[in-house]
C-alpha cells in the first residue's frame, strides 16, 4: 500500500469540471492561493474588464477556491491573466471572501517570488542579486524587486506602489455603539479608513480579535454610508475596502507601529497589510510625520510579522498630491494542491460559516 499511495493521484471526479491546481504561499502569515491550472479563460480587453467578467461569470470559482471545505473565510487568492500593458510580465486578479480586490501587497510580495521561480519572467543575468517583476494589478502597474541567487528567489521582496494619497483627514463620522469618531481615509491601491483602536475603547495589541473585527467593521460600514469615495482614474477603484485599526503611533519612530486590517466581509489580514502600509505611509507623509526615504516598520497585531515601508518619491494622482511607496516583506511557499468537484456534491462551490 505504501508504494501504491506514494504518488498522489486525483480521485474520480466530474470530467466536465477540470481540476484546479494551485500553489499556496503566505506572506507574514497571510495566505495566498495562486491558481496554476483549471481556470477558464477570463475574457476582457483590459484587466479591469477581466475583473468585471470574472465577477459576473466565474464567481463560482472564487467561492470554490476561497470557501470551505477547500479554503476558509480568511483565505486569499490570485488568478493570473494576460495584461494589456506591454511592460507587464503578468496580470493578476485578487480574490477574497467577498469579491475582488483592487490591490494586495502581501500577494505582490509572494507573486514576485512565484513569477521568478516558475519562469514567468526572463531569467536574470548571471550574478544578478535582484530580479524585476512587473505585475499589473487592477489598481495599476506595480514593480516587484525579488532578491535572487542563481536565478531563483531568496530572501525578501520589495515593491513600488501605484500613486498613494490621502483622500480625507480628520473625518468625523457617527459610529453605532461608539459615537462620534475621527477617522482618516487613504489610498494605497485600495482605500482604507484609519483610526486608532483607542478611540474605540480597544487596544490593538491586547483586545480580542472578535472585538477588533466588530469595531473595524462598524467603522467601515459607517464611512461607506456617510462619505463618498472617489478615485481620479476609475470608478472601479472607488470603494472602501476596509478599516485599519492602529496603535495611534503615527509620528516617526524607529520602533514598529502595530495595526490590524479588517477588509472585505470581516476578513482579517494576518500580515501588516501591504496596501494598507502603502496608504498609511501616504497618510503620514501627507501630515508631515514622515519624510521621503524615511523607513518605518509596521507590525501585525495578529501574527507580529513585520513589513517595512517608505515614501520614495512624490507624484500626482489626478489632482491629489501622492507618493510612490516601497514596501518590503518576506513570502514563503507552503505547498501545492489540486481541487476537484464531484458531480453530486451539494457543496461543490463552497460555503462560509457566519
Residue with cell 513585520: 306
Residue 256 has pLDDT above 90, yes or no: yes
The DSSP call for residue 68 is B
* Per-residue confidence band for 17, with pLDDT thresholds at 50, 70 and 90: confident
**pLDDT tens digits, one per residue of 55-110:** 999 999 999 999 999 999 999 999 999 999 999 999 999 999 999 999 999 999 99
- Per-residue confidence at 1, pLDDT binned at 50, 70, 90? very low
Q: Mind telling me the catalytic residues?
A: 104
* 237 Cβ neighbours under 8 A, 6+ residues apart: 102, 138, 139, 190, 191, 231
Cell numbers linked to 95: 480574490
CA–CA separation, 150 and 128 (whole Å): 8
pLDDT at 18: 79
Surface-to-core class of residue 220, CB atoms within 10 Å of its CB (0-12 exposed, 13-18 middle, 19+ buried): buried
Place of cell 502581501: 106
Dump pLDDT digits (tens) for 157-213.
Answer: 999 999 999 999 999 999 999 999 999 999 999 999 999 999 999 999 999 999 999
Closest CA to 195 of 251, 257, 247, 266: 247
User: pTM here?
Assistant: 0.96
Question: Please, what's the b/e burial string for 156-183 (b: 16 or more CB within 10 A of its CB; e: otherwise)?
Answer: bbbbbbbbbbbbbeebebebeebeebeb
Confidence band of 258 (pLDDT split at 50, 70, 90)? very high
Mention every residue, 6+ apart, whose C-beta is less than 8 A from residue 86. Answer: none
Question: Which secondary structure element, helix H or strand E, spans residue 315, and what is its range?
Answer: strand 306-317
Check whether the bond before 69 is cis (ω within 30° of 0). yes
Which is it for the CA torsion 28, 126, 85, 234, positive or negative?
positive
Return the beta strands (E) in 150-253 as ranges: 152-160, 165-175, 179-187, 191-196, 240-246
Cell triple for 164 = 498613494
Residue 15: predicted pLDDT? 77
Amino acid at each position: 500500500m505504501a508504494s501504491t499511495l506514494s504518488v498522489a493521484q486525483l480521485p474520480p471526479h466530474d470530467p466536465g469540471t477540470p481540476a484546479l491546481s494551485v500553489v499556496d504561499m503566505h506572506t507574514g502569515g497571510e495566505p495566498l492561493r495562486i491558481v496554476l491550472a483549471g481556470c477558464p479563460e477570463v475574457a476582457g480587453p483590459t484587466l479591469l474588464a477581466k475583473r468585471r467578467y470574472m465577477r459576473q461569470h466565474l464567481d463560482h470559482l472564487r467561492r470554490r477556491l476561497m470557501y470551505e471545505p477547500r479554503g476558509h473565510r480568511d483565505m486569499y487568492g490570485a488568478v493570473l491573466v494576460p495584461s494589456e500593458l506591454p511592460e507587464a510580465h503578468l496580470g493578476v486578479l485578487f480574490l477574497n471572501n467577498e469579491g475582488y480586490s483592487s490591490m494586495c501587497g502581501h500577494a505582490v510580495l509572494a507573486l514576485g517570488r512565484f513569477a521568478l521561480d516558475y519562469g514567468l519572467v526572463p531569467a536574470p543575468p548571471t550574478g544578478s542579486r535582484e530580479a524585476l517583476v512587473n505585475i499589473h494589478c487592477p489598481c495599476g502597474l506595480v514593480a516587484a524587486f525579488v532578491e535572487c541567487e542563481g536565478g531563483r528567489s531568496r530572501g525578501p521582496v520589495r515593491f513600488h506602489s501605484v500613486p498613494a494619497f490621502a483622500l480625507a483627514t480628520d473625518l468625523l463620522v457617527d459610529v453605532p455603539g461608539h459615537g462620534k469618531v475621527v477617522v482618516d481615509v487613504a489610498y494605497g491601491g485600495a482605500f482604507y479608513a484609519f483610526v486608532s483602536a483607542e478611540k474605540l475603547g480597544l487596544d490593538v495589541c491586547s483586545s480580542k480579535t472578535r472585538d477588533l473585527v466588530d469595531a473595524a467593521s462598524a467603522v467601515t460600514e459607517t464611512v461607506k454610508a456617510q462619505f463618498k469615495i472617489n478615485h481620479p482614474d476609475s470608478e472601479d477603484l472607488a470603494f472602501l475596502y476596509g478599516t485599519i485599526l492602529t496603535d495611534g503611533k503615527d509620528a516617526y519612530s524607529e520602533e514598529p507601529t502595530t495595526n490590524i486590517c479588517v477588509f472585505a466581509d470581516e476578513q482579517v489580514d494576518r500580515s501588516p497589510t501591504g496596501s494598507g502600509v502603502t496608504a498609511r505611509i501616504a497618510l503620514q507623509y501627507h501630515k508631515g510625520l514622515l519624510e521621503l526615504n524615511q523607513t518605518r516598520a509596521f507590525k501585525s497585531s495578529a501574527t507580529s510579522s513585520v513589513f517595512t515601508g517608505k515614501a520614495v518619491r512624490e507624484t500626482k494622482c489626478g489632482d491629489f498630491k501622492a507618493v510612490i511607496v516601497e514596501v518590503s516583506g518576506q513570502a514563503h511557499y507552503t505547498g501545492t494542491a489540486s481541487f476537484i468537484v464531484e458531480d453530486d456534491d451539494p457543496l461543490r462551490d463552497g460555503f462560509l460559516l457566519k
